[in-house]
Structure 1
Amino acid sequence: MICVRLLPGGDYPSRPPPALLPPAPAALCVIARGGSAGDGPITMRAMLQGEGQGEAAREGLTPKGAEPGKDAQPSRVKPALPLHRKVCYALGGAPYQLTGNAVGFFLQIFLLDVVQCYHVPYSSLTMFLGGSQMDRDSATAYRMGVEMLSTLVGSGTQGQIVGSHHASMRKRCDVANGTLAENDTSLLPDVLENARTAYVVASLVLGSLYFLSCLVLFLGVKEQPGRYTPLGKTRLPFFASLRAVLSHSSYTRLLAGFLLASLAFQLAQGIFAFFCTHAAGLPGSFQHLVLIMLVVACLSIPVWQWFLVRFGKKLAVFIGLSLIIPSLIVITVVTHNFLVYVFMVALAGSSLAVLYLLPWSMLPDAVDDFKLQNPTCLNLEAFFYSFYVFFNKLAAGLSLGISTMSLHFAGYRATDCTHNPQVILTLQILMAPVPIALLLSSMAVFFSYPIDEKRRKQIRVEMEATGRHQGQTERPESEAS
């Protein structure tokens, strides 16, 4: 029972003012004194019922962290991240992968033989989906599953449309070698023109899918503000924000490891179609090998998601990245054996799934670690994700430049049907030794990454404590997963 004494000198309504009511239901005893000095005390007893009975209110206590005299907000549990929001968010990753991986697998041979801002805001949207830490990891797994599926659709569409033209090029070369002089083995212009037309058709198909996926993302996902993720502009100047982000050791190590691993995969990915055509003796089969690799990668995403939840993200990175090393060695050594290549690209596809899932799953942990250490530096998610995307693009540019310049100095000519031994040796070096060296360097950097499972749990506890202070609590991990 809470008693409030109203002082004389004014008319009061029959019900006490709202500001005098406690935050939760309680018996309210109001002792009022009449307007004149001669009136005696009048006692009124009212039982007022309300909603949302909290423990602190029932006991008449001020919640922990709240200032006395202010209305206390009852603690509420964060709602689970809805499935439809996860799916719509995941579909937003399709445009980037539909076009990006078609370019990754086929731009190299397109540039040699024939002649994106979207990703930053989309990837940073991870921090504004709402839900708990486990919800965010689950949404990332949904996203990567759809991105791998869109990679499969994009590369499959591109490969089936343009792959037959590259096979016809090789057949035309075989005919030319049998009927023309040895020094007159150039490709005919009409063959290259047909290849150009095939690339245009493939681009129209992928562009349509791109627009549809963007529309689903725009209509199906709304930003959810949080304690450390308010919807607003950063208050720090640009260079101060840049210095704060790049001085965070967890993020810089994750960024360096991601750059090296991405460079290794993209170098092998960019040269793979060209390697199959000119070094492995499988010119008409590389598009099927690409499909096998991507199907395995798509199916491996749920397995690696379970593995990282069960055994931790750092262990998943080490095991996943190491799987592609024997695959690259065998692919480089063995030629003219399609069955062996099928098994090796399947193994590489499982490793490719790790590159897609783990770095993007580890980045939010580094962002949370930064926020806990720098609670006044808010709304810097775009910096974290923009550098991540930039280094991914940098790896793509470096891989393309390295392979193109290496083949140029080795004496490659697009109009030649057969290539000299230096070109073949260059392709073999670019396919295995260089990516393996980059992968080993990446694993060494990830070994020094400070956020292990123990630190992740500590971050979650600190974030939950902050959430309770703000009137929200996260659901347990088992329920969120």
Structure 2
Amino acid sequence: MADLAKTTNPLSVVAKLCYAFGGVGGEILWVVFGAYTSIFLVDVAQMPPLFAASIIFGSRVVDILCNVFLGPMIDRTNTRWGKIKPWIVISTLFLIVTNALVWYVPDVGTGGKLAWYIILYILLVLAFSGFSISYRTFVMFLSEDSSERDSAMQYRALLAIVGVVGGIVMHGQTLASFRRSEHDSCDNMTYSANSSTNSSVDGVSLQMTRTGYIISSAAVCGLLLLCLSAVVFGTTERKDISATSGGKRDQNMFKTAKIVLTFRPNVYFLLAYFFIQIPVSIGHGGIALYVQYSLDLEDQIENVILAMMVASAAAMPVIAWVVSKLGRKTSYICFQLAAIPIYIGFQFVPKGSLAVFAVVIALGVTVLAQNFIPWLIVSDITEDCCLQTGERLDTPFVAIFLSTKSLAITVGLIMATIGLEIGGYKVGSCTQPDTVGSALRILASTFTSVLTFIGVVFAWRYPITEDRRKEITEAINKRKLSRNSQPDETQRNGSLSNVNGKVLLPEESSRPEGLQEGDKLLSSELDLSVLLDCKESVV
């Protein structure tokens, strides 16, 4: 492998840091958006729970459908500035504009606000999808060395979680400083079924809370600009790598999507990830609602979310160590099995008890595992598919993965919002019936535990073990060595190495070592166009 090492330029620490910092702003935006969307729509924007659910559902469905097409579109981009960087720039600028508007509450009535938020949420999630697909794929084009890419992803995960903790602190403390005034009509109120005795939220207090959201969004927008500058000026896109991505140029998007969606390891992984991500999304999007209405700890919402994020940041070295010892598949399964009793714990936290901090701290470790390990698995799947088909489909694989993630988040947020409706949530009321808290408890414990277990079953069926991953890496390294020696072979063999004007690479003429029959595409179709070209040339 010494020859291969000579052909690989290691990434500098500066490049890894710039790439990692480039995603911090987007991560903060998405975490704040996910954690506070439900409570913002129902408590601050004063939208009925079903309207809030329709806003979330409408925007996410458009996002899921468009992700399927965004991946191939990005893969077919070819500009003087590269394949990926133009998409990062454009999507980040759209994120800045939409994030500045999505936390504003217009005075246009319920129907007008419904249209306002549906449009803005669609634009925001589309902009984030464009950014996330291009940014996450960008690491594939920084280096050919998988260990260098893994190192860059570890930098990204570490800076992202540290940035998210800082972002949650900033957002939470900003909201806390604009929390209800001392003359708030909701103080010392108790729920009554008689709406005439259940006071509404004070107008002055509500306006102060809305101002806090706007100030926080402005800070995130400024951070997004800094992160964009780091990616643009601190990293270099390897055009020699990106030029090989996308497979056959005459292959349409639907055929590309079919290859990705029928690749056996990817099928099991996406099913596992989907069922595991829904509980994570319920916990993420519903934790504020759970703390406020199930535990009656409204003044602790920001602190609870912060505790979960700090736990995730502290767990990063532990998760990396476990992955290095047990492998990616086994580690992923173990962390998700550990999450099941944690979810069950939400059912038994007493009302008003600070024991919720112990539960969310433990949950933070498994949440980080769900956010970090799958990206390593996606890299393995992409490499394995490249060996099977001879085509690099990095961006489509990332796009389909993000579509699955978006679908799971959509289901989780909608379930959290519908839980309010089932519990009998009263729009604009200072206090809520106990049934609201009970519904959120069941959602946060029973539903999450069952769905996580189903996801673990599919993860167990995922075929790329550590031994298989080593075989993939070895086969790819041999292919790179063959490709690097191809010019010399061409010079020695002359026209024999060229048939019909096409150079036949060694990996196209024989099956690479390490491939397993079970990892073939689910489709049995074979492309015989190369053999036909050879036949015509001979004739």
TM-score scaled by structure 2? 0.69
2:378 equivalent among 348, 363, 367: 363
1:450 is aligned to 463
1:113 equivalent among 40, 43, 51: 43
Compared with structure 1, are the counterparts of its residues 465 and 228 closer, same or farther at alpha carbon in structure 2 (3 Å cutoff)? farther
Q: CA deviation at 1:260?
A: 1.7
Aligned-residue CA RMSD (Å): 2.6
Compared with structure 1, are the counterparts of its residues 232 and 455 closer, same or farther at alpha carbon in structure 2 (3 Å cutoff)? closer
Compared with structure 1, are the counterparts of its residues 470 and 327 closer, same or farther at alpha carbon in structure 2 (3 Å cutoff)? same
- Aligned amino acid, residue 425 of structure 2: Y
Compared with structure 1, are the counterparts of its residues 75 and 343 closer, same or farther at alpha carbon in structure 2 (3 Å cutoff)? closer
1:195 is aligned to 209
- Asked if 1:256 is matched to 2:271, the reply is yes
- Asked if 1:437 is matched to 2:367, the reply is no
Query: Match of 2:280, SS?
Result: helix
Counterpart-to-counterpart distance in 2, 1:441 and 1:327 = 16
Query: Match of 1:355, SS?
Result: helix
- Aligned amino acid, residue 265 of structure 2: S
CA deviation vs aligned residue, 1:64-100 (integer Å, no higher than 9, x gap):
xxxxxxxxx9993422222122111111221221100
1:218 equivalent among 229, 232, 237: 232
1:151 equivalent among 142, 164, 185: 164
Q: CA deviation at 1:154?
A: 2.0
CA deviation vs aligned residue, 1:424-475 (integer Å, no higher than 9, x gap):
2211112111111111111111100000101100000101101111238xxx
Q: CA deviation at 1:225?
A: 4.6
Compared with structure 1, are the counterparts of its residues 469 and 278 closer, same or farther at alpha carbon in structure 2 (3 Å cutoff)? same
Counterpart-to-counterpart distance in 1, 2:313 and 2:166 = 11
Decide whether the 8 Å contact of 1:166 with 1:283 is kept in 2: no
Q: CA deviation at 1:199?
A: 0.6
- Asked if 1:284 is matched to 2:214, the reply is no
CA deviation vs aligned residue, 1:194-225 (integer Å, no higher than 9, x gap):
11111101100111111111110111111225
Query: Match of 1:346, SS?
Result: helix
Counterpart-to-counterpart distance in 2, 1:432 and 1:105 = 18
- Asked if 1:103 is matched to 2:33, the reply is yes
Compared with structure 1, are the counterparts of its residues 455 and 367 closer, same or farther at alpha carbon in structure 2 (3 Å cutoff)? same
- Asked if 1:243 is matched to 2:173, the reply is no
1:11 is aligned to none
Counterpart-to-counterpart distance in 2, 1:343 and 1:242 = 43
- Asked if 1:344 is matched to 2:344, the reply is no
- Unpaired runs of 5+ residues, structure 1, are 1-54, 56-72, 473-481
Decide whether the 8 Å contact of 2:185 with 2:199 is kept in 1: no
Decide whether the 8 Å contact of 2:245 with 2:394 is kept in 1: no
- Aligned amino acid, residue 429 of structure 2: D
1:185 is aligned to 199
Compared with structure 1, are the counterparts of its residues 171 and 352 closer, same or farther at alpha carbon in structure 2 (3 Å cutoff)? farther
Query: Would you say how many aligned residue pairs link Structure 1 and Structure 2?
Result: 398
- Asked if 1:93 is matched to 2:23, the reply is yes
Higher relative contact order (CA 8 A, sep 6+): 2
TM-score scaled by structure 1? 0.77
Counterpart-to-counterpart distance in 1, 2:274 and 2:140 = 22
Q: How does 1:129-148 map to 2 (within 5 A)?
A: 129-148=142-161
Compared with structure 1, are the counterparts of its residues 404 and 75 closer, same or farther at alpha carbon in structure 2 (3 Å cutoff)? closer
Query: Match of 2:403, SS?
Result: helix
2:500 is aligned to none
Query: Match of 1:471, SS?
Result: helix
Q: How does 1:333-412 map to 2 (within 5 A)?
A: 333-336=348-351, 338-375=353-390, 377-378=391-392, 380-412=393-425
**Rg (Cα) greater in structure:** 1
Counterpart-to-counterpart distance in 2, 1:233 and 1:317 = 30
Q: CA deviation at 1:227?
A: 6.5
Counterpart-to-counterpart distance in 2, 1:453 and 1:170 = 61
Compared with structure 1, are the counterparts of its residues 88 and 74 closer, same or farther at alpha carbon in structure 2 (3 Å cutoff)? closer
1:313 is aligned to 328
Percent pairwise identity? 24
Q: How does 1:269-280 map to 2 (within 5 A)?
A: 269-280=284-295
1:465 is aligned to 478
2:55 is aligned to none
1:46 is aligned to none
Decide whether the 8 Å contact of 1:281 with 1:335 is kept in 2: no
Counterpart-to-counterpart distance in 2, 1:167 and 1:389 = 38
Counterpart-to-counterpart distance in 1, 2:380 and 2:389 = 14
Compared with structure 1, are the counterparts of its residues 337 and 135 closer, same or farther at alpha carbon in structure 2 (3 Å cutoff)? farther
Q: CA deviation at 1:167?
A: 6.2
Q: CA deviation at 1:422?
A: 2.4
Greater strand share, 1 or 2? 1
CA deviation vs aligned residue, 1:399-427 (integer Å, no higher than 9, x gap):
22222223223320132233223212211
- Aligned amino acid, residue 294 of structure 2: A
Query: Match of 1:285, SS?
Result: helix
1:424 is aligned to 437
1:42 is aligned to none
CA deviation vs aligned residue, 1:316-361 (integer Å, no higher than 9, x gap):
1122123332222223311245542222221111111101110011
1:230 is aligned to 244
CA deviation vs aligned residue, 1:165-208 (integer Å, no higher than 9, x gap):
55659974234559x99724211222211111111011001111
Decide whether the 8 Å contact of 1:98 with 1:210 is kept in 2: no
Counterpart-to-counterpart distance in 2, 1:232 and 1:219 = 25
Bigger shift: 403-412 or 115-124?
403-412
- Aligned amino acid, residue 82 of structure 1: S
Query: Match of 1:418, SS?
Result: coil
Counterpart-to-counterpart distance in 2, 1:170 and 1:411 = 27
Counterpart-to-counterpart distance in 1, 2:151 and 2:394 = 19
1:207 equivalent among 221, 224, 239: 221
Compared with structure 1, are the counterparts of its residues 328 and 74 closer, same or farther at alpha carbon in structure 2 (3 Å cutoff)? closer
Q: CA deviation at 1:232?
A: 7.0
1:38 is aligned to none
- Asked if 1:325 is matched to 2:340, the reply is yes
Counterpart-to-counterpart distance in 2, 1:166 and 1:422 = 25
- Asked if 1:84 is matched to 2:24, the reply is no
Decide whether the 8 Å contact of 1:267 with 1:403 is kept in 2: yes
Counterpart-to-counterpart distance in 1, 2:279 and 2:131 = 24
